A and B are shown apart, each in its own frame.
Chain A
C-alpha cells in the first residue's frame, strides 16, 4: 500500500497543534532553512520538487511563486485558500485542525520567497474549530518571532498573517471570487487571463497576489525542510509527491489517506473497504468531476495524468464511493441541486443552466420523465460548459455528462418506468419541496 505520510507524519501525536511540541519534532526548521537561502533559491527548491497546486487544478506551484514581480513598490499579498467546499473533500479541515503550524510555517516561507507584506487565510465560515486552531498557531508564532517585524532577526522581513472568515459560499473557493470576497464584496468571479491580468500581477487591491491551497502551503513546508529532490523522488513523472485523498461514502474506514501520487485507485479502495453491497461507482475528485463506473477502475492511478486519461480528474481529492444501493439519477439530481444553490448568479449560462438541470432531473425523479430528456440534459450541459467566468458551470455540467455516459440505462429506466431501478434502498428524494417555483409539475 502506497500510503506515505509526509504532511501527516505527526498527525497522531498528542499536542502537535501546540508550538512547543511542533518545534520539538522539527517544526519551523523549514523556515529556518529557507531564510538562509536566497529568495530565488527557495522558489527553485519548489521547482525541483515538482509540486503542483493541490486545490484541484494542479497548476505548477513554482510558476505562481516565480511570477510575483520582484521590482514593484506595491505590497505583495499572499492568500491561503481554506474555503474548502468541494463535496467529498475534508483534507484541509484535518490539516488545519491537527497541524495548523504546518500551514502557518508554509505561509511564512512563501512570504519570504515572494516578498510578502501580509498573508490572509480565507477559511470557510463553517470551519470554526479548525479556524480556532489556526488562530492559536498564529498567536504562538507571533510570540516566537516567526511573524511580525524583522522575522528571525532578518532586517526588513516584516510579515503579518491574518485570518479571514467566509460566510457560507461554495463559489468563494474559486480564486477570483475569493479575492472579491476578501475585499468585502459579493463572491462573484472576475474575468481571467488572458483577458485580464493574472493575480500574481494584479490580484487583491491591484497588487501582486499569490493564492494557494492549504495542502500546497503545507507541502511547501515539508519541501523546504527535507529538500525538493527528496519530494520529487515520490510520485510519477509529472505528478510528484503525495496527495491527501479524503475517502467517504459506502466505505468501512472513511478518513484522509495521504498516498503517493500514482497509487492505483483500487489499492485505496482496498484500504478503505467497501461496505453494504457491491461497488458500483466512484467519484475520485469531488462532486465536480465525472463519476467512474466500477469495472473501469483498474486502469486508474491516483495522479493528474492517469485520471485525465480515464476521462475524470483527481481534483481536490474528494474520493466518494458508492455501492449498488445507490441510484445514480437521484445522486445526480442532488449534485445539480448543489450547483443550482451555489451558482453565484453572475453568468447567465451557469445561473439558468444549473437551475434547468435540476428542474429536469427533479421532474424525471418525480415520475415525469419524457422521451428526449437525456438529449435535453446533454444539450444544456454543452451550453453551460466553458461559457462562464469561472469553472462552477463546467463543474455542474461534467458530472451529469459523465453519469449519462456511464449509467445511461438508469436514466432510461427512470424515464420509462417512472421509478428507481434500485428500489427502496436508493437516496430518497428531497423530503419537502418548500418553494413551488423550483419544481415542475410532472407532465
Chain B
C-alpha cells in the first residue's frame, strides 16, 4: 500500500507540550482496561485508542506523551507502537476515512474501478483528503469480508458489494451523516474493551459506572 507509506508519516513537530486532554471518563476507562492485564504496559494499544478518540481522531505527539505518562512508559516506546499499526492515525484524516479493500478477491471483483470512481467523484487521488476536509481516500489491505466484495470500511462500518454505480449513493449518505468517523471508530473500539458496556447498548456511561472493580455495570 503505497498510500499509507507516504501519507501516514508524521510531519516534523516540536517537542510536545505536556497536555492533558483525557476526560475523567477516559481516565476511568484506561484504569479499568489496565486492570485486565498483569502489566500496565499491555494497556498501550487500548490507551492509544482512547487517545485517538480524545484527540479528535488522530495521535499528535502530545497524545503519545499523555498515553506514555499515564502508563509509565517512555515516549519512544509508545510512539513505536503507534507507528507500527496502520489504524492509528498519525495525521488528521477527513471526517470520513474511506478505506477501500483492493486485496485479491476485491481486486478481481472490480475494487480498482470503485477506487477510480471515488477518485473522480471526490477529486482526490488515493491517499488524499478533499479540500473541505470531508473525505480521505485510502486503499486497504484485506478487510476479510471477501464474500461481499468490494468492501469499504468507513469508521466502524463496512459497506459491502460496492460497484462504480452504487458508490455515489454511499458518498451522499456519508455526506449527510453528522458523525466524525475516525473518533467514532476509536470510541466504538474502547466500548468493546470495557466490561459491561453492552448494558448501555453502545451508548454513553459515566466514570462513576466504572468504579466497581468486580466488573462494572455487570
Interface residues of A (CB under 8 A from B): 75, 84-90, 93, 118, 120, 123-129, 131-132, 134-136, 138-140, 142-143, 148, 160, 162-170, 181-187, 205, 246-250, 254-256, 283, 287, 318, 320, 322, 326, 331, 334-335, 337-338, 341-342, 344, 427-428, 430-435, 437-438
- The one of A131, A167, A205, A433 in contact with B87, judged by C-beta atoms closer than 8 angstroms, is A167
Interchain CB contact under 8 A, A205 and B39: yes
* Chain A residues near B1 (CB-CB < 8 A): 337, 341
Interchain CB contact under 8 A, A125 and B85: yes
Task: Name the segment of B11-19, B43-51, B204-212 touching the other chain.
Answer: B43-51
Return the CB mask of B150-189 against A: 1 if under 8 Å, else 0. Answer: 0001001010000000000000000000000000010011
Interface residues of B in 86-118 (CB under 8 A from A): 86-88, 102-105, 107-109, 112-113, 115-116
Cα(A287)–Cα(B108), bound, Å: 14
Interchain CB contact under 8 A, B115 and A126: no
Question: Quick check: is B142 within 8 A (CB to CB) of the other chain?
Answer: yes
How many A-B residue pairs lie within 8 Å, measured between CB atoms?
213
Interchain CB contact under 8 A, B156 and A320: no
Interchain CB contact under 8 A, A434 and B189: no
Question: Quick check: is B196 within 8 A (CB to CB) of the other chain?
Answer: yes
Chain A residue with the shortest CB-CB distance to B43: A184
* Chain A residues near B104 (CB-CB < 8 A): 87-88, 249, 283, 287, 320, 331, 334-335, 338
Question: Quick check: is B7 within 8 A (CB to CB) of the other chain?
Answer: yes
* Chain A residues near B189 (CB-CB < 8 A): 125, 128, 131, 165
Cα(A320)–Cα(B142), bound, Å: 13
* Chain B residues near A148 (CB-CB < 8 A): 214-215
Interchain CB contact under 8 A, B146 and A334: no
Interchain CB contact under 8 A, B81 and A428: no
Cα(A131)–Cα(B84), bound, Å: 22
| CB-defined A-B contacts under 8 Å, sample of 22 | A85-B142, A90-B144, A129-B156, A132-B188, A139-B195, A142-B215, A142-B218, A143-B218, A148-B214, A167-B85, A167-B87, A168-B85, A184-B71, A184-B81, A186-B84, A187-B84, A187-B85, A246-B147, A249-B146, A254-B147, A334-B102, A431-B119
Q: Please, how many residues of chain B have a CB less than 8 angstroms from a CB on the other chain?
A: 70
Chain B residue with the shortest CB-CB distance to A134: B192
A183 and B41 contact, Cβ closer than 8 Å, known pairs A129-B158, A167-B48, A434-B3: yes
CB distance from B217 to the nearest CB of A (A): 8
Interchain CB contact under 8 A, A164 and B116: no
Interchain CB contact under 8 A, A135 and B105: no
Interchain CB contact under 8 A, A432 and B126: yes
Interchain CB contact under 8 A, B102 and A168: no
Interchain CB contact under 8 A, A331 and B108: yes
Return the CB mask of B129-149 against A: 1 if under 8 Å, else 0. Answer: 000000000010111111111
Interchain CB contact under 8 A, A248 and B156: no
Cα(A283)–Cα(B197), bound, Å: 40
A433 and B192 contact, Cβ closer than 8 Å, known pairs A165-B45, A246-B146: no
Return the CB mask of B1-32 against A: 1 if under 8 Å, else 0. Answer: 11111110000000000000000000000000
Interchain CB contact under 8 A, B85 and A431: no
Cα(A9)–Cα(B73), bound, Å: 47
Interface residues of B (CB under 8 A from A): 1-7, 36-39, 41-46, 48-49, 71, 80-81, 84-88, 102-105, 107-109, 112-113, 115-116, 119, 125-127, 139, 141-149, 153, 156, 158, 185, 188-189, 191-193, 195-199, 202, 214-215, 218
* Chain B residues near A254 (CB-CB < 8 A): 146-149
Given contact pairs A126-B153, A318-B146, A432-B126, a sample of 5 additional A-B residue pairs in the complex whose CB atoms are under 8 Å apart: A89-B144, A128-B156, A135-B191, A183-B41, A434-B125
A93 and B145 contact, Cβ closer than 8 Å, known pairs A184-B43, A320-B105, A341-B1: yes
Chain B residue with the shortest CB-CB distance to A148: B215
Cα(A139)–Cα(B109), bound, Å: 39
A435 and B5 contact, Cβ closer than 8 Å, known pairs A132-B202, A331-B108: yes
* Chain A residues near B7 (CB-CB < 8 A): 434
Interchain CB contact under 8 A, B149 and A248: yes
CB distance from A183 to the nearest CB of B (A): 5
CB distance from B146 to the nearest CB of A (A): 4
* Chain A residues near B113 (CB-CB < 8 A): 428
A136 and B198 contact, Cβ closer than 8 Å, known pairs A88-B105, A128-B185, A431-B126: yes
* Chain A residues near B142 (CB-CB < 8 A): 85-88, 170, 287, 338
CB distance from B209 to the nearest CB of A (A): 13
Interchain CB contact under 8 A, B87 and A88: no
Interchain CB contact under 8 A, A248 and B49: no
* Chain B residues near A125 (CB-CB < 8 A): 85, 87, 189
Interchain CB contact under 8 A, A88 and B146: yes
Interchain CB contact under 8 A, A338 and B103: yes
Cα(A365)–Cα(B194), bound, Å: 48
